[in-house]
Structure 1
Amino acid sequence: MSTPFTGGAVAAARRYDAWFERRWGRYAWRLEATTVLAAAGPLAGRQVIDVGCGTGRLTALMAARGARVVGVDTDPAMLAVAATRVVGRLVRADAALLPLPDASVDAAVTVATLEFTTDPARVLAEMARVTRSGGRLVAAVLNPASPWGWAGRVRHHAPYQQGCFLPRDRLLELGRRHGTAQVRGVLFAAERLPFLPQLGPILETAGRLAPVLGAVQVLTVERGLPR
């Protein structure tokens, strides 16, 4: 007999995951993942936590680069899908109360999680707590000031109605509590471009001139070494 978890919830998680296989999903995820992985730095042999790992796509990419990754999420259905692609530790836990000791990882990474928590400052503080001095925090969040953010609110798209979005200045302020912080923008091409493969890279290059307009903001925080 199917339970709500084994039936409907997992099916919903798979439908969410299938978006990344669509034309726009593949394009957007490639850009976002490439930027996040570059921000995380070398991963081989390093201990990493993926906070809000969802269906494990980023978790798997980091593991493929040689990281020892722990994936954390509150949603058991998402973790069930993640388990089909991640060889490693997946834990059901709250992002605001990570199940790891202080200074136990080299990097803490999160994508599209801070803006859907009730206390993003606490989540970032938890990521900092579990990260060693000299390590790195990386957080990718949707940008409310981008054309996509504006259009999403006007059209009442679910993510932009449900999230508590962080302006760039607020994101930087939270990051600077834990080290040297910077924010860059990514994803400037439009979803409905008829020639996405050809025009997308041109728009991405041009978008670097106005990073505040990127659909995604990527915060990188370098944790200072003890004095």
Structure 2
Amino acid sequence: MSGWAAAPYTAALRDGGQLTLRGHDGWSCPLDVARWSAVADAADLALLRRCDGPVLDIGCGPGRLVEALGTRGHRALGIDINPGAVEATRLRGCHALRRSVFDRVPGAGRWGTALLIDGNIGIGGEPRTLLRRVARLVRPGGLLLAEAAPGEVDERRHVRLDAGSGAPGPAFPWARLGARALRREATAAGWACAETWTHRGRVFLTLTTPTGPG
């Protein structure tokens, strides 16, 4: 995940530049930094209407979802390992911490909803490990709203961030899952899929945890 803390991402958030994830074999995936830096759009708002209770936005980026949650009356916290993302979120007047999801997270076990949006199911490169970690952060009966990649993909690879000028950042593990693969990994991690829906070409899943022990 060190690539997300590299200079290309911070610079793109600051300057509105382009970013692309690149694999060593020529694979590439453009990142929509402009949308991340804008205000929440219609697809985002359809997602946020499903949130329940306090919300943890994992990999919050520049904070558009944390900001929109606040206007809807939710207590919300963004976490991100990139200092530029955390600063951008705080500049919106929102709460954010520079923190990995795998480190100590405030309110662990008490969040009503967690978010893995904008490709963040890929954090760490092992989705099942990530999903198990998130299950320990939400309360019993809590929700995870996750965005799947378009198409039926299931990719695990090491990638670098490329801003189009200068050398790409350091390699880090990443994953991309379509809806079918995400449902499979979520089930294996102890989640149940309550809903799959699309909005303007984006694909989302509502996942739930058991309501209590056993």
Q: Same fold (TM over 0.5)?
A: yes
Residue 40 of structure 1, CA deviation: 2.0
Q: Is the 8 A contact 1:50 1:71 kept in 2?
A: yes
Q: Quote the residue 1:210 is aligned against.
A: none
Matched, 1:91 2:97: yes
2:207 is matched with: 221
Q: Any stretches of 5+ residues in structure 2 without a counterpart?
A: 18-31, 154-163, 165-172
CA distance in 2, matches of 1:119, 1:163: 8
* CA positional deviation for 1:57: 0.2
Q: Distance in 2 between matches of 1:38 and 1:103?
A: 22
TM-score (norm 2): 0.68
Report what 1:34 is aligned to: 45
Structure of greater relative contact order (alpha carbons < 8 Å, 6+ residues apart): 2
Structure 2 CA distance for aligned equivalents of residues 21 and 122 of structure 1: 25
Distance 2:36 2:86 in 1: 18
Larger proportion of strand: 2
The CA distance in 1 between the partners of 2:117 and 2:45, in whole Å, is: 12
Are the equivalent residues in 2 in contact too, given 1:56–1:71 (CA < 8 A)? yes
Report the counterpart of residue 12 of structure 1 in structure 2: 12
How many residues of Structure 1 are paired with residues of Structure 2 in the alignment?
Answer: 173
Q: 1:170 to 1:98 in 2, by over 3 A?
A: farther
Q: 1:175 and 1:18 mapped to 2: Cα distance?
A: 27
Alignment TM-score, normalising by the size of structure 1: 0.64
Q: Does 1:68 align with 2:68?
A: no
Q: Aligned to 2:175, which of 141, 164, 174?
A: 164
Q: Percent of aligned positions with the same letter in both sequences?
A: 20
Larger radius of gyration: 1
1:108 corresponds, among 111, 114, 117, to 114
**What letter corresponds to residue 13 of structure 2 in structure 1?**
A
Aligned equivalent of 1:179: 191
Cα 1:63–1:121 change in 2 (3 A) is same
Structure 1 residues without counterparts, runs of 5 or longer:
147-157, 189-214
Distance 1:109 1:181 in 2: 14
**Cα distance between partner residues in 2 of 1:184 and 1:60:** 24
Q: Distance in 1 between matches of 2:12 and 2:195?
A: 32
CA distance in 1, matches of 2:93, 2:190: 29
Structure 1 residue 101: Cα displacement: 5.0
Amino acid at match of 2:179: R
SS in 2 for 1:71: strand
Q: Which structure: greater helix fraction?
A: 1
Distance 1:21 1:126, change over 3 A: closer
